Each structure stands twice: as C-alpha cells, then as structure tokens.
Chains A and B, each alone.
Chain A
Amino acid sequence: GENVEQHPSTLSVQEGDSAVIKCTYSDSASNYFPWYKQELGKRPQLIIDIRSNVGEKKDQRIAVTLNKTAKHFSLHITETQPEDSAVYFCAATMNSGGSNYKLTFGKGTLLTVNP
C-alpha cells in the first residue's frame, strides 16, 4: 500500500517568512495529492491539491509542487501570518475517477508563525 513520509514534524518561522513542508510517497500509481490544514481543536480542511498531470499549482500565498519522478511534493507558504499556525497534512491516493478513494496521510507538520 501507499506510504507517505512528511518533514519536518515541527516548523517555527517568523511572521512574513516563507514555510516549506515536504512529503514523499511510495506508490508510483498515486495521482492525487491534497494538503489539509487543521487548526487546534478543529476539523482538517483542504487548502490546496494537485493532480499528477500538473507540476505546480498556486493559490494566493500557498503553492504546491510535484515531482513525479522523485515521488515527492511540497507545500510552500509565503508571507506567513500568525493565522497560518496549524498542523498541515499531506496525503496521496490513486484515484481512477470514482468517488471513493483511500487517502494516506503524512504524520503532519506543526507550523508555528511567531509574530
């Protein structure tokens, strides 16, 4: 089955700096890679995702890059703000176009943005 490794487990940055979280996956058939943000005591929420036919995707201050050859993908947050502080999870799955699929999550990165 799929195995997703995520680094670092904790990341502390100053407000305004950039943050990068990296993930690797094991199953070359995986084709969908979402990132979820979970604030303390809240539910995980999708912030950005990328499919394997795309190398990079950007949404305002967040971006995700995918290297299929190396089987790794990264989340980039620029101009970090205190409200970006949360646990971030990467995930991977092989989705053939159906509705149900099994997301394998990384172990999470606790991002702290210091004002």
Chain B
Amino acid sequence: DTAVSQTPKYLVTQMGNDKSIKCEQNLGHDTMYWYKQDSKKFLKIMFSYNNKELIINETVPNRFSPKSPDKAHLNLHINSLELGDSAVYFCASSPHGRGASYEQYFGPGTRLTVT
C-alpha cells in the first residue's frame, strides 16, 4: 500500500555508465516530480510531468532524461554518469484540480553513488 515507491533504493555505479531510476505512485495523482538532494541536503526540483506531459524542466544537463509512460509512472534515465551526480533522488507526486491539497508526496529516495 506504498503511496510513492522508487527502485532501486541504492545504486552504486562507475563513472561513464548509464542508469535508470523508476518511480510509481498509486495515489491517482496527475503530477509527478523528480528532485535532487545533494550532500548538503539541498532539495532542488529537476523535472515535473502532468499527465505524461513535461511541464517543468529546470537547468539540468541533457544527460538526464525523464520518461513518463503513464501518469502513475515517472522514470529517470541518466547517461554518462559523473561524480557530481552522486546524490539522493526523490520522486514526488501531487493531486490535481481546484480544491485539492497542494501537498507533494515524496518517495523514499534513491541514493546514487558514482565512483
């Protein structure tokens, strides 16, 4: 009955590799997000999708490519991984429509370590 889930929870890989992180929400929300939390705990939005359409695309290297096959899933693919990509990546979702809560529900995070 997990609301927002991510896989994997931990990811250790070498520089130059390509990796993906998957996110799924069973809350029926239309909007999903990817955040990056660096070693200093700073939370910064990377992307947002609304009903499979890319809405927010922050200044993120184009090695990062989000994909939303349906509104319950948002994946993040990272090409040519670099040391600076090491961080915790959080997926989140929020409900839709007037009168809905503005709360964003976060997944458990994926700790990516690039060596």
Chain B proximity mask over A91-114: 1 for CB below 8 Å, otherwise 0: 000010111111111011000000
Q: Most chain-A Cβ atoms within 10 A of its Cβ — which of B45, B48, B94, B102? A: B102
Digit string of B76-97 for contact with A (CB within 8 Å is 1, else 0)?
A: 0000000000000010001111
Q: How far is the CB of A32 from chain B (nearest CB, A)?
A: 6
Q: How far is the CA of A98 from the CA of B53 in the complex (A)?
A: 14
User: Please, which residues of chain A bring their CB within 8 A of the CB of B44?
Assistant: 105
A100 with B94: in contact, given A43-B109, A87-B41, A108-B42 (CB under 8 Å)?
A: yes
Q: How far is the CA of A100 from the CA of B68 in the complex (A)?
A: 15
In the complex, number of A-B residue pairs with CB atoms less than 8 Å apart:
57
Q: Provide the residues of chain B in CB contact with A42, threshold 8 Å.
A: 108
In the complex with contacts A44-B43, A105-B42, A105-B44, A32-B108 CB distance below 8 A:
no
SS class, residues of chain A in contact with chain B: loop
Q: Is A107 touching B103 in the complex (CB atoms < 8 A)? A: no
A89 touches B56 (CB 8 A): no
Q: Roughly how many angstroms separate A104 CA and B40 CA in the complex, as a whole number?
A: 16
Number of interface residues of B (CB under 8 A): 27
| Interchain Cβ contacts under 8 Å between A and B, 28 examples | A32-B102, A34-B102, A42-B108, A43-B106, A43-B108, A44-B90, A44-B106, A45-B106, A49-B102, A49-B103, A89-B43, A98-B96, A99-B30, A99-B31, A99-B97, A99-B100, A100-B31, A100-B48, A100-B50, A100-B55, A100-B56, A102-B45, A102-B56, A103-B45, A105-B43, A108-B41, A108-B42, A108-B43
* Residues of B bordering A, CB below 8 Å: 29-31, 40-45, 48, 50, 55-56, 90, 94-98, 100, 102-104, 106-109
Beyond the given pairs A34-B104, A89-B43, A105-B43, 16 more chain A to chain B contacts, judged by CB atoms under 8 angstroms and listed by A's residue number, are A43-B106, A43-B108, A44-B90, A95-B102, A99-B29, A99-B95, A99-B96, A100-B30, A100-B55, A102-B45, A103-B45, A104-B45, A105-B42, A105-B44, A107-B40, A108-B41
Residues of A in contact with B (beta carbons under 8 Å apart): 32, 34, 38, 42-46, 49, 87, 89, 95, 97-105, 107-108
